Amino acid sequence: MKQDLIIILDLGSTQNTVIAREIRDLGVYSEIHPHDITATELKAFEKIYLEAGETREVTLMLEREAFMYYDETSHSFKVDAGSYMLMLAKNTEEIVDVTEIEFEI
């Protein structure tokens, strides 16, 4: 099962590890990556800039490929048909919104 992830781009700030620790304290996994991470590695992420204390609304457009996994039996990427619940949460205990999507083969 995939877990939530926030990526912090390292642009030289001395606060990167502090920010990552605070995000993890909220129950969300975070990683610090170099500023030259490839677009493929950032699939489905939108670039935003936040100042301390600032909030912003972000929309993630998820194409079918975002839900694919590699099936070793067929040696191809696939998405299983069925219903999937997408949850938006402030942390692991505070779910803000839930929506259901359906994949058909």
Sign of the Cα pseudo-torsion (20, 38, 34, 13, in order): negative
Can you give the pLDDT at residue 41? Answer: 66
Q: For residues 26 and 74, what is the distance between their CA atoms, to the nearest angstrom? A: 38
CA distance 105 to 82: 9
C-alpha 20/C-alpha 22 separation (Å) is: 6
pLDDT at 97 over 60: yes
Span 49-82, pLDDT tens digits? 777 788 877 666 677 777 788 889 999 988 888 8
pLDDT band at 1 (very low <50, low <70, confident <90, very high): very low
For the segment 5-43, what is each residue's pLDDT rounded down to a tens digit?
Answer: 777 888 877 888 888 888 888 777 888 888 777 766 666
